Homo-oligomer: A and B are copies of this chain.
């Protein structure tokens, strides 16, 4: 399947010298460093308070927001940015913990679907408070609206450009929890 990951579509033949100098790297460094610290922190908070990893949180979130609160395995994998095998194992864990149920896909006997359970919904809802609270306190409260707009705008441009070259899809571990 899609053998995801274009094998270095660009072996980068003769990419000429990078005119990258120290001064230019400030934003890039801040980007990397902030992401590392922030995600580590959010993951710790979530783990400590609810015993959920960010990946699990994200998967549950995707399921809750899906049409009938269920998704095909591959669709879930795409949204959580995990490989097929990765999603199999993540769902295994969630099933073992009673937060997700797995059942055969009615329209394609090869496929299986994952559906979030009532327990999963309540666990997610509780975790959501912790998580969104962290996002707000660590990030949104610290960055002005104007800055947020700039960040969103410029980073989306970067992301879109990459998405155009790579097939892989993404997801994000945050979103308001409906209902």
Contacts and interface: CB of A to CB of B under 8 A. Distances in A.
Interface of A: 1-2, 4-8, 10-12, 15, 17-22, 24-38, 40-41, 44-45, 48-49, 81, 129-130, 132-144, 146-159, 161-163, 165-166, 168, 170-176
B32 A166 contact: no
Contacts of A17: 129
A27 B148 contact: yes
A162 B37 contact: yes
User: Which of A29, A143, A148, A171 neighbours the largest number of chain B CB atoms within 10 Å of its CB?
Assistant: A143
A173 B32 contact: yes
Contacts of A158: 34, 38, 138-139, 142-143
A141 B135 CA distance: 28
A125 to B, nearest CB: 12
